Structure 1
């Protein structure tokens, strides 16, 4: 049987979201339907995130969108992801808290290491650090690094290495050309609860799959049809075996989702996701579990029903079939 590395397997947030042979359900924040607007209202978001926690969902994923670019259409949950996850750490008890994903090419690794470890400690070990290279060219001039947009894959590798150096070592020595050097005279505190943050690469982040398999603890990819998902999941498992042997490194999928009011409504394609009644959704999720998907994160932006109704129906009829893993109550 596959097992995670000991420190990652013991991490409460990782165990909540991921286990071999299991598929869990979570949400890409915000918990709000806003199909025709670029920005959510963020009304009742504290109550709705508590509701997701109390119903038993696995993970909440906070996107990182530093500035609104109308050509990309939306601003995610609008708040800074680390600030928001810090708030959610106090607002919830069991649900995993994840960046989905922090654009680490535009953030200094020392700040990311400190922010993520702080949330991990304050939440009792529920923090998952999802990371990405960013795909919005307009953001790079804003941060005065326009020359690094085309080389953002290299910048991503350097940033992730520095984050791990800062969060996993005491008084580290080393660093990178872009982000500076640790000289052994300074430390970054706090350290993560289990000594290491679970790292989830989101998308390809300009990396080969074998690099992701070696350097990440899990991979979250975007919505594709079930047949392509099966092929991608199999390719991921082979890349993990080639890079790490028989180690469990989960495969997750994020998608836009519209839960239709008719429980018997068939699957209908929408942009980067699907609309479906709950019976078709259950059949689809069973298919994903069968091909090796370990977690699905729903983005409710495209929903035509209020988020509260969607959470309630999923929690009552769908979630019991895809239960989250255990985590200590805070």
Structure 2
């Protein structure tokens, strides 16, 4: 494990944040899953059978996060229909059936949504989760969705920045005062309730969101990108660290299509799907932890085995090697968590 001093320290309000500290800690690699917790073909989509039981299994096994994608429509030209369910509604459901695991969005297509409604929904979900929510935000990768919402695709990057500033004003200020370019104006006469459980709601940039790396490093609490070739990670992390403040921990993580082979000694296979046996993956992830990767989100879509088998194998053989040390006040159950 790399010395935590090499990566800086989280801001004080995030170091003990229940959701953030479970997923992102300097020098530690954690693991989560990108919903749905099952494999599925492009043209059909997931069945969602047993999804509540799988979420509880991931929570009980000690994984750090479940990530929910935002796919408003099914585009046959794109293929992947995602987890089908609206991510913010689904996050509220998961709040009722999980106990410790962080729930994050990966990510809300922010230019297609009203930022004040997102702020209200995110703060509500965070309260229901007892501070376990991570707000992952994106601009989406499906241009065809923008006309359906009457939104100009070419303004998406500017809209993203404008909407994020509005969300932060509404969730972090009492009686906020803020003027946006694309959205409305907060003049101090209204206050958003509820506020998040902690003073600040962690915001994670999913992909690049149409922003420069410098902007992302300065204006977010971390990045979760998509990676098809693990060989590119050292260069990506070097660029990310160069853009980030030297003394502040800014985590880098990635999501990947994943297929755990039954043969524990199968080497990692090249390609956009991270495929291999647990022993080779263990060595890969130990190296990536040393490089500074903070989190890996595993996507079951191409998985050839039942999700329960994969969760059990990773939880038994790999997760104990990457156990982080959560601050004490991130461990206690919140009011409203499942018994």
Same fold (TM over 0.5): yes
Q: Please tell me whether the aligned partners of residues 250 and 293 of structure 1 are also in contact (alpha carbons under 8 angstroms).
A: yes
Normalised by the length of structure 1, the TM-score is: 0.95
Aligned to 2:293: 293
Listed one character per residue, the Cα deviations across residues 7-28 of structure 1 (whole Å, up to 9, x for unaligned) are 1222110000011100000001
Aligned to 1:262: 263
Aligned to 1:307: 307
Secondary structure of the 2:96 match is helix
Listed one character per residue, the Cα deviations across residues 59-88 of structure 1 (whole Å, up to 9, x for unaligned) are 000000111111111121111101101111
Aligned to 1:318: 318
Q: Please tell me whether the aligned partners of residues 96 and 127 of structure 1 are also in contact (alpha carbons under 8 angstroms).
A: yes
Aligned to 2:164: 160
Q: Please tell me whether the aligned partners of residues 34 and 301 of structure 1 are also in contact (alpha carbons under 8 angstroms).
A: yes
* Partner Cα separation in structure 2 for residue 175 and residue 284 of structure 1: 47
Q: Please tell me whether the aligned partners of residues 264 and 278 of structure 1 are also in contact (alpha carbons under 8 angstroms).
A: yes
1:43 to 28, 46, 49: 49
Q: State the shift of 1:127 in Å.
A: 0.3
Gaps of 5+ in 2: 335-339
Q: Please tell me whether the aligned partners of residues 42 and 79 of structure 2 are also in contact (alpha carbons under 8 angstroms).
A: no
Aligned to 1:233: 237
Normalised by the length of structure 2, the TM-score is: 0.93
* Partner Cα separation in structure 1 for residue 205 and residue 31 of structure 2: 18
* Partner Cα separation in structure 1 for residue 237 and residue 84 of structure 2: 31
Q: Please tell me whether the aligned partners of residues 20 and 202 of structure 2 are also in contact (alpha carbons under 8 angstroms).
A: yes
Q: Please tell me whether the aligned partners of residues 29 and 77 of structure 1 are also in contact (alpha carbons under 8 angstroms).
A: yes
* Partner Cα separation in structure 2 for residue 210 and residue 48 of structure 1: 38
Q: State the shift of 1:38 in Å.
A: 4.1
Aligned to 2:248: 247
Secondary structure of the 1:53 match is helix
Aligned CA-pair RMSD? 1.2
Q: Please tell me whether the aligned partners of residues 15 and 325 of structure 1 are also in contact (alpha carbons under 8 angstroms).
A: no
Segments of 4+ in structure 1 off by > 6 A?
none
Aligned to 2:107: 101
Size of the alignment, in residue pairs? 324
* Partner Cα separation in structure 2 for residue 328 and residue 23 of structure 1: 22
Q: State the shift of 1:54 in Å.
A: 0.2
Gaps of 5+ in 1: none
- The structure-2 alpha-carbon separation of the partners of 1:324 and 1:36, relative to structure 1 and needing over 3 Å to count, comes to farther
* Partner Cα separation in structure 2 for residue 184 and residue 302 of structure 1: 49
- The structure-2 alpha-carbon separation of the partners of 1:179 and 1:36, relative to structure 1 and needing over 3 Å to count, comes to closer
